[in-house]
Amino acid sequence: MNRQEGRISADLRGKVAIVTGAGRGLGRAIAETLAAAGAKPACVDVDADGLAETVGNVEAVGGEAQAFPCDVTDAQRVGEVVEAVVTKWGSLHILVNNAGITRDSLVMRMKDDQWDSVIAINLRGTFLFTRAAARPMMKGRQGRIINIASVAGLMGNPGQANYSASKAGVIGLTRTVARELAARNITVNAIAPGFIATEMTAKLGDELLAEIRKQVPLGRLGKPQDIADAVLFLASDAADFITGHVLTVDGGLTA
The reported pTM is 0.95
pLDDT of residue 177: 98
What are the contacts of 171-179 at 24+ separation with CB within 8 A?
171/147, 171/246, 173/123, 173/126, 173/127, 173/130, 173/147, 174/145, 174/147, 174/149, 174/244, 174/246, 175/244, 175/246, 177/130, 177/134, 177/145, 178/243, 178/244, 179/244
**Interval 168-196: pLDDT, tens:** 999 999 999 999 999 999 999 999 999 99
Residue 6 pLDDT exceeds 50: no
- For residues 20 and 126, what is the distance between their CA atoms, to the nearest angstrom? 9
2-244 adopts what CATH topology?
Answer: Rossmann fold (3.40.50)
Closest CA to 35 of 51, 58, 53, 6: 58
**Active centre residues (catalytic):** 163
Tell me what the pLDDT averaged over the chain comes to.
Answer: 95
pLDDT of residue 7: 78
When pLDDT is averaged across residues 4-30 and rounded to a whole number, the result is 90
Query: Which residues, 6+ apart, have CB-to-CB distance to 171 below 8 Å?
Result: 147, 149, 153, 154, 190, 192, 246
**Interval 45-62: pLDDT, tens:** 999 999 999 999 999 999
In this prediction, residue 3 has a pLDDT band, given cuts at 50, 70 and 90, of very low
For the chain, domain boundaries: 2-244
Residue 203 pLDDT exceeds 80: no
Exposure string of 211-249, with b = 16+ CB inside 10 Å and e = fewer, is ebeeebeeeebbebbbbbbbbbbbbbeebeeebeebbbb
pLDDT of residue 164: 98
Closest CA to 167 of 157, 182, 181, 177: 157
